[in-house]
Structure 1
Amino acid sequence: MGNWLNGKWFCIWEDLLRLFALLGWQIRKQGLIAPKPAVVPRGYASCWTNYNKEMKIEMTNGNTLLIAFGIVILNIIIDHLFAPIGLILTPVILIIVSFLIAFQTYKIKPIWKSILTFGLVALHDIGIKLYGGGSHDIEGQLWVHMLLFIGLFPTFGILLTSILRDGNESVLNLVISAVIFPILIFTYLHFFSELGIGRHYW
């Protein structure tokens, strides 16, 4: 008899605990009692905020570079399929790409802005010379270089403006960053000025 009563009271207490737990869950679900906010130590909060900022910067820079790269590839495809539209758009493409690298990226050193801009300019020129539609002869190559230089002047102006606005670098680094772009362009054209001659796409 005593064992039966003890078992019965145990079941009653268990049912009551379940009822209170369910009632508390319903109250919190209805918003009658606000959940207790989590307390984050100040040091951990600061580190977490800095980490979030760095991640956002990296994502922004990555997206900007991806967009610039996509614009270059898209114009190469356009010139291959609908020549000479892509070739004519060369100055516009170079200006857009240089603007993205110069003013839509964050915490990138000026020298890397110059190198990245040169890389995209060279990639666009290589793509036009190798895969542009039509016949690739000397006359066509002259048009390629003429439109390239038309785009290079404002491109260098945009890049130079961005470099000179950077107040965190020494004068020597700023000078190197400004000079390295034309040096890379000159070196590239010296070795690859006749790239693609003799190719043709109809």
Structure 2
Amino acid sequence: MLHQRLTILTATLLSALLLGSNVLLGYYAAPWEILLTPVVLVATSLLLLTTRSVRPTPVLRALLLALLICGHDMGVKLYGGGSHDAEGQGVIHAFLFMGLLPAYCILILKVSQLKGLAPWHIRLAACLLFPLVLAVHLYFFGALGYGVSNDCRYSC
């Protein structure tokens, strides 16, 4: 298969291109980027986690995947069309979690297949790093795009 012959750098660049094009789609044709978020996150997970490399690096792959997903979430919240209110944030988060659940399952499956190639503590660190990075991102940037500019400031 083609995705198994890619290097980790090529897979990361292709994943970033896929996520960036989804954000760009949302800028011009909202709310399609929100609706396609689960599909794009699963495709990115498969692309990043199924590429073969000389040395399996589950922590690096988990970190790259989490950072790419965080960047996609920020792009959707900042550049996506539509009204940026609490209801919109809820919809964005609902579709984000619909994509995060299968992405995390794929990560756990692929990391568990590295039994003889990576020590158990490295595999455990990869499985714990992914939700930790996303939790920190959502803690600090959960309300990104919803702010003073969206409020009625001049006698509504």
TM bucket, shorter chain: 0.7 to 0.9
Alpha-carbon distance in structure 2 between the residues aligned to 1:136 and 1:188: 19
Judge which range, 163-172 or 116-125, deviates more: 163-172
Note if 1:120 corresponds to 2:56. no
Structure showing greater Rg: 1
Alpha-carbon distance in structure 2 between the residues aligned to 1:61 and 1:76: 22
Alpha carbons 2:78, 2:144 under 8 Å: kept? yes
Tell me which residue corresponds to 1:150.
Answer: 98
Aligned match for 1:100, one of 47, 60, 70:
47
Pair 1:148–1:80, CA change in 2 (3 A): same
**Bigger relative contact order, structure 1 or 2 (CA pairs below 8 A, ≥6 apart):** 2
Alpha carbons 1:61, 1:104 under 8 Å: kept? yes
Higher share of residues assigned helix: 1
Aligned match for 1:169, one of 118, 121, 125:
118
Tell me which residue corresponds to 2:12.
Answer: 65
Q: How is 1:1-202 mapped onto 2 (pairs within 5 angstroms)?
A: 60-106=7-53, 107-166=55-114, 167-198=116-147
Pair 1:105–1:131, CA change in 2 (3 A): farther
Alpha-carbon distance in structure 2 between the residues aligned to 1:196 and 1:149: 18
Question: In structure 2, the residue corresponding to 1:134 is in which secondary structure?
Answer: coil
Q: CA RMSD in A?
A: 1.5
The structural deviation recorded for 1:95 is 0.2
Alpha-carbon distance in structure 2 between the residues aligned to 1:168 and 1:108: 7
Aligned residues: 143
Structure 1 unmatched runs, 5+: 1-56
Taking structure 1 as the reference length, the TM-score comes to: 0.67
Question: In structure 1, the residue corresponding to 2:30 is in which secondary structure?
Answer: coil
Alpha-carbon distance in structure 2 between the residues aligned to 1:108 and 1:69: 21
Q: Deviations over 1:89-121 (max 9, x none)?
A: 000010000111100242341000110000110
The structural deviation recorded for 1:62 is 2.3
Tell me the amino acid that sits aligned with residue 132 of structure 2: I
